[in-house]
Amino acid sequence: MTDIKYDYLIVGAGLFGAVFAYEAGKAGKKCLVVDKRSHTGGNVYCENIDGINVHKYGAHIFHTSNKDIWDYVNQFAVFNRYTNSPLANYKGELYNLPFNMNTFYQLWKVATPEAAQMKIREQVEKLNIKEPKNLEEQALSLVGPDIYNKLIKDYTEKQWGRPATELPAFIIKRLPLRFTYDNNYFDDKYQGIPEGGYNVIIDKMLANADICLNVDFFAEREALSERAHKIVYTGMIDQYFNYCYGKLEYRSLHFEHEQRNIPNYQGNAVVNYTDKETPYTRIIEHKHFEFGTQPVTVVTKEYPADWSEGKEPYYPINDDRNSNLYKQYKELAEKEMNVIFGGRLAEYKYYDMHHIIAHALKKVRLELDNSK
């Protein structure tokens, strides 16, 4: 590396870092982006295998109701018409997700919204839950025990490695509940997959930045920090502060990718396994994200895992203990004048891609305005 002084050292070449680099570059700023992985893109990275864009870190479907964000991403790629409609496999029985009239018909043979609502109401009233205090109570009070026991409880407890009674209620509110025959997993106005995968977007965003891969910020912290006026940090916030208040908890995943010599393995991009016995939560068949017609296929089994140092921290665990601990780190972060913290790990939030883009744009625009 040479001695150039950069305006920004961006730690993490994920979506947050890439949006920041793109906007700063447009404003004439020089950015050095480092990532400890061997590729850019963070968790949206895709690897092309047999002509199929494989989402190496789990299924990524872009969705938003924010027209500005939709227009923003569309300047980097053409989005296809993919609509996420996962299936749930519970001990061999198949159900449509999210919870909608198809699911209710499959479960109870009720064919009208009124009959489905009555069925749920009968079940929910018996429980007498006034104010749901955790994910279990929230789910039960929304859909009742039949759906909770077949489609939510075991999946959730596998995914998070803890009882649903110890998880925050907001997690289950990510899933729509509707009384129409509509299997669209999202309520958002806009949805799709970028043709050619997410790398198309990331490559364009990072085109004007200098990039160093296989570089862990903490291995060269001082030398790297000296190379720029400011740092944009998108890694784990507790690691940045040397875990001084203790460790935040994360949930990790393990992915098993398999090439299969058949054109179509499961007929759908996403199939969730909602029973306790199956060790993985979902199987992804990547070609279906882009309506692929290749003679072969690639499928990925997604296994939830405990997080420990050295593993990838995919999900923050936003329970009370961790949320309080995060607040302490956030106070420290606010005092770091030359560091901008952003992204899923540095803000310790269950952000989707559209949230990340919105937050990155807000932060970079504020920063660029202040630096004028």
| Residues engaged in binding ligand FAD (CB under 6 A) | 11-17, 34-37, 42-44, 57-62, 216-218, 234-235, 253, 314, 343-345, 351-354, 356
> 360 to each of 78, 133, 180, 368, how far by Cα in Å?
21, 32, 35, 12
Of the residues 181, 303, 315, 350, which is catalytic? Answer: 350
Give the HSE-up count for residue 275: Cα atoms under 13 Å, Cβ half-sphere: 9
Alpha-carbon span 291 to 196, nearest angstrom: 12
Alpha-carbon span 234 to 346, nearest angstrom: 5
Rounded to a whole number of angstroms, the minimum distance from the CB of residue 355 to ligand FAD is: 7
Binding-site partner at residue 156 among ligand FAD, ligand UDP, none, CB < 5 to 8 Å by type: ligand UDP
- Angle, vertex CA 80, rays to CA 79 and CA 83, nearest 5: 115
Binding-site partner at residue 97 among ligand UDP, ligand FAD, none, CB < 5 to 8 Å by type: ligand UDP
Beta carbon nearer to ligand UDP, 29 or 64: 64
Beta carbon nearer to ligand FAD, 7 or 302: 302
Q: What tokens were used for 89?
A: 């496999």
302 flagged as catalytic? yes
DSSP class per residue in 42-69: GGG-EEEETTEEEETTS---EEES-HHH
Rounded to a whole number of angstroms, the minimum distance from the CB of residue 151 to ligand UDP is: 5
Give the HSE-up count for residue 325: Cα atoms under 13 Å, Cβ half-sphere: 23
Q: Which residues bind ligand UDP (CB under 6 A)?
A: 88, 97, 151-152, 155-156, 159, 171-172, 174-175, 272, 274
H helix runs in the chain, sequence order: 15-26, 67-74, 101-108, 113-127, 135-147, 153-160, 199-205, 221-225, 237-240, 320-335, 353-370
Beta carbon nearer to ligand FAD, 35 or 137: 35
Of the residues 251, 314, 329, 344, which is catalytic? Answer: 251
Q: Which position has the token pair 């009742």?
A: 144
Q: Residue 155, exposed/middle/buried by CB under 10 A (0-12, 13-18, 19+)?
A: buried
Beta carbon nearer to ligand UDP, 24 or 248: 248
Rounded to a whole number of angstroms, the minimum distance from the CB of residue 16 to ligand UDP is: 17
Is the Cα dihedral 199, 205, 210, 212 positive or negative? negative
251 flagged as catalytic? yes
Of the residues 136, 185, 198, 282, which is catalytic? Answer: 282
Binding-site partner at residue 152 among ligand UDP, ligand FAD, none, CB < 5 to 8 Å by type: ligand UDP
174 flagged as catalytic? yes
Rounded to a whole number of angstroms, the minimum distance from the CB of residue 155 to ligand UDP is: 4
Binding-site partner at residue 351 among ligand FAD, ligand UDP, none, CB < 5 to 8 Å by type: ligand FAD
Q: What tokens were used for 106?
A: 């499959």
Beta carbon nearer to ligand UDP, 6 or 314: 314
Of the residues 23, 35, 137, 302, which is catalytic? Answer: 302
Comparing CA positions, the residue from 363, 354, 364, 369 lying closest to residue 72 is 354
Q: Which residues are catalytic?
A: 174, 178, 251, 282, 302, 350, 352
